[in-house]
Amino acid sequence: MQQRTPIEEQIDLPFVESLRISFQSLKIRFGRSIITTAGITLGIAFLVSVWTNNEIGLALQESGRQSTINTFEETTEKGISTKDIWLIVMSLIVCVVGIANSMLMAVTERFREIGTMKCLGALDGFVVRLFLLESGFQGFSGALIGALIGTLGAVLLGLKDYGLDLFFYFPLFPVQPEDGTMRLGVIVVILLGCVLGMILAVIGSAFPAWRAAKLPPAEAMRTEV
């Protein structure tokens, strides 16, 4: 058997190509993207509302105001009630599970697409990069919207509890009160929410995408929705 031209090595694609392909994909499956993004938005909205609500409560407690309904709660030394800690932890869990789940579903229904791209010459790393880009963008935009909704919710709740005093003492920026604790302030909470949403979305999507990209294309393409 004669030896033909040896088989070359596949090239890496320029970043802009990945960017173009992933944005086109987001655009065309807009409806589906919105649903996945909504999962992220909800998770982050919940987390940020609980967290911001807590910041507001602390700031107003310090100012000497009392919530009309929160007065009877037992508080820890630092002024955060165990119930609030519990709520924040719960909302974090809801957020992590919710986002991971919606990303996982979004990737699983695209196994066939992953297999097909590999048939056409895509490297595993390229497939993962596409999903990193798509999910990073979805994660950030979904989380930003969620953080704003969450803040709005917390502000409305605060208005109900403290009235217009809320705006007077509104904890927008980080402060360090004398007891040595740290108050993040609403802006930082929003930023953290966005970053967290993005990281969760990226991990939740890149991990299954990486697993699918490692499969032989024949197997990836066998998976039915």
Partner 1 sequence: MADIVVKTEDVVKEYRMGSNILRALDGINIEIERGEYISLMGPSGSGKSTLFNMIGALDRPTEGQVYIDGQNMSQLSQRQIAAFRCHRVGYIFQSYNLLHVRSAHGNVTLPMIFAGIPDRQRNEKAEQLLDLVGLGDRMYHLPDELSGGQRQRVAIARALANDPSIILADEPTANLDTITGREIIDLIKRLNTDQGVTVISATHDLKMLDVSDRIVDIRDGLVERIRNRDEIDIEVGEVGSEGH
Residues lying near partner 1 in the complex (CB under 8 A): 1-11, 13, 17, 21, 24-25, 28-29, 112-113, 115-124, 126, 216-219, 221
C-alpha span between 40 and 200 (Å, rounded)? 9
Q: What is the DSSP letter of 72?
A: T
Query: Minimum Å distance from CB 118 to partner 1?
Result: 7
Distance CA 125, CA 130 (A): 9
How far apart (Å, rounded) are the C-alpha atoms in residues 181 and 165? 23
Pick between residue 4 and residue 164 the one whose CB is nearest to partner 1: 4
Nearest approach, Cβ of 145 to partner 1 (angstroms)? 23
The smaller minimum CB distance to partner 1, of residues 131 and 162, is found at 131
Instruction: Compute the least distance from the CB of residue 89 to partner 1, in Å.
Output: 38
Q: How far is the CB of 11 from partner 1 (least distance, A)?
A: 5
Judged by CB, which is closer to partner 1: 13, or 159?
Answer: 13
Task: Pick the closer one to partner 1 by CB: 28 or 93.
Answer: 28
Side-chain half-sphere of 122: how many Cα atoms within 13 Å?
A: 24
Supply the DSSP symbol for 5. S
Cα separations (Å) of 178 from 47, 175, 182, 183? 27, 10, 9, 11
